[in-house]
Structure 1
Amino acid sequence: MLIWPKRAQVATALEACAKKTKAVNPVLCLVGNFGSVARGDWGLGSDLDDVILVEESELPFERWVFCLISATCRWRWMC
């Protein structure tokens, strides 16, 4: 029997991971998830779609149509 985590458990785990990451990489500013978990309609086999925003980065990035994600995203401020 498979037991799928509840949304609160997923949110707690994501926040704990973000806090550990911020401790070693202080540019992390905001984390959130979108998709089925954020909407509340996930099920067996669903993945976690995350967004991580940083204050600055020298790495290349891709541009997303952010307004489409932010409407369904559940955010946690980290800065």
Structure 2
Amino acid sequence: QIKMDKSFKVISARINGKPIQPDQNYFVATSDYLQQGGDSMNFFNNPVNLYDIDYKLRNAIIDYFQKTDTIKSQQDDRFIKE
């Protein structure tokens, strides 16, 4: 969960209800585009470990929708801007 003020300054950042620890390593699932710095996400450039699963995001979406007809949206509290 990320909480930001009106100027987008991070007030708090939590994973499973606990504050993010700067000295802790976390697993992050993302696309190769973002991992390689796309959209200025340069903080993904040098991961401690990188696991390439050779499964494109578009294929995951296609596979999902071959099994699921409709997505039910649900608002949650992962991102809060005060």
Q: Normalised by the shorter chain, which TM-score bucket?
A: under 0.3
What is the TM-score when the length of structure 1 is the normalising length?
0.22
What is the TM-score when the length of structure 2 is the normalising length?
0.22
Q: Which has the higher helix share?
A: 1
Q: Which has the higher strand share?
A: 1
Task: Please say which structure displays the higher CA radius of gyration.
Answer: 2
